Structure formats: C-alpha cells, structure tokens
Amino acid sequence: MEDFVHVNIFATKGIEYLVVIAFLLAIIPFWRYLNSPGRLTASPVVSSIQDAIQKMVGSIPKGVFLDPTHSWTFLEPSGSARVGVDNFLLAATGPVNYSELRNTGDKITRGDVISVLEKEGKQLKVYSPISGTIERSNRKASNVNSSDSEFYDQGWLYKVRPTNWKQEVGRLLFARKAEEWIKAEFDRLKDFFAFSTGKYGYNPEMVILQDGGALAEQALDQFPAEIWVEFQAEFIDANKVD
C-alpha cells in the first residue's frame, strides 16, 4: 500500500471556494456588458421637449403667424414682416448654424428655400411663409435660444416687404389654431422618433427618453443624417401648403 496517497478532501475545499468566487467576480462585469442596451452617444440635457413646447404654446405673441413648415412671420407697423424658424423646430435640433442666407434685395416667393439649418453636416431646409423682397437679414439669429422670452423679437432671420400679405396670411396658423397645431406636432414627433429609431436599430428608451418618458430636448441632435432627412420629409416638406 506504499503507492497509495491519502488526500484530505476537506483541505481542498478552500481552494475550490476561492476559484468559484474569482470566476463569479470575473463574469459579473461581462454579463452586465452583454445585457446593457445599445445607445448612441448622447449630449447631456437638462430639460425636455415637452417643457419647450409648453413654453412655446403659452408664449406665442399676438400677431405671430405660424407656417406648417415650421417657419413664422409677424407684420410690423412699418409694413415690414419678420420671418424666422419656429422654436418647435429649434427645440428638436438644438443650436444650429444658418447657411445659404438670402441677400438684401432678393425677391422670394412663399415656399422658397430661405435658409438651411446646419449641424455637424446634417441639414434641414427652411421655407418662406410669405412672398416679398428681403430688406434685411439677421446674422445673429443663431445666437438666440429657442426658449428665450425675446425669441420673436431677436430670433428672426429676415425682414421682408410683403407683396401678397392678405392672401398668404390666410394659409397660416394663428392664435388657438397655432397652439393646437403645435401640440399635435409634438404627438407626431414622439411617434416619429419611436419609428425612426427602431428602423435604424437605435434604442429610443435609452437615447431619446428621459426619466418619466419625456422626450429629451435637442433629441434630433443625437441622430445621424438619415433621420434628419426623414424629419425634413415628415415635418417640413409634407406640411407645405401651396
């Protein structure tokens, strides 16, 4: 029996426990990684589009007309009309640069492209709500925050001398109709993000939605050019009224 080796199984239990514990400690981070939902790189936000829309609905000044393509106009006592991009659109995009601005003296027709919103290579075309001659452009419009109380005073893109105000203003949205339309556009926006993010394989719950299911302000900013193209088609081009 000299070749027989006696092994104390109880003496090896401690080693087995240490191996099991080490294995569990190693696999937990890996398991968390595998089960974590995919997300895009999102810029931090402090508010929601709902907040921005509520502020917008309650702060549209008297005399401001909204176009379904998300531009606006206001007729001044002088006879000139301010023209700009509405803050619904800017709440979705966040700060943008305005390119392809028209020059003083240019004649424009309702529905003409009057500017392009640009951000990191992504673009949205902006259409004029009225016809007329451009008297002045505002190069500082991009510095005005969409939630600023003086947005309509300082955030305009052009001052235009209208040529067909009475007829064209009848196609625009005013007062209660404008407020109801903005609320309906917000409902469409939620559906749009839910569909588009799924279509391109993004996780809307992690990228778009904040705690409580609120759409993050500047949500469109977080997405690639493909979704901006679809947004252009759904919320701007599809809303054009001849």
Helix (H, G, I), strand (E, B) or coil at 48: strand
Q: What is the pLDDT of residue 77?
A: 96
Q: What are phi and psi of 217, to 5 degrees?
A: -65, 145
**Domain-located, residue 3:** no
To 5 degrees, how large is the angle CA 226–CA 228–CA 229?
65
pLDDT tens for 95-123 read 899 999 999 999 999 999 999 999 999 99
Binning pLDDT at 50, 70 and 90, where does residue 204 land?
A: low
In a domain, 6, yes or no: no
What is the pLDDT, as a whole number, of residue 170? 93
Dihedral angle sign, alpha carbons of residues 90, 96, 100, 102: positive
Q: Is residue 21 part of a domain?
A: no
pLDDT bucket at 58, cuts 50 / 70 / 90: low
Distance CA 198, CA 208 (A): 12
39, part of any domain: no
Q: Which residue has the higher pLDDT, 123 or 186?
A: 123
In a domain, 67, yes or no: yes
Q: Is residue 26 part of a domain?
A: no
Please check whether residue 68 is in contact with residue 165, taking contact to mean a CB–CB distance below 8 angstroms.
Answer: no
Spatial distance between the Cα atoms of 208 and 216, rounded to a whole number of angstroms:
6
Q: pTM of the entire structure?
A: 0.74
In a domain, 31, yes or no: no
Number of domains in the chain: 1
For residue 51, give the H/E element and its range: helix 49-57
What is the span of the domain harbouring residue 147?
Answer: 44-242
| Distance between CA atoms of residues 205 and 212, nearest Å | 10
DSSP codes, 101-152? PPPTT-EE-TT-EEEEEEETTEEEEEE-SS-EEEEEE-TTGGGS-TT-TTHH
Q: What are phi and psi of 19, to 5 degrees?
A: -65, -45
Structure tokens at 152: 């309509």
Any idea what the CATH number is for the domain that residue 204 is in? 2.40.50.100
Is 10 inside any structural domain? no
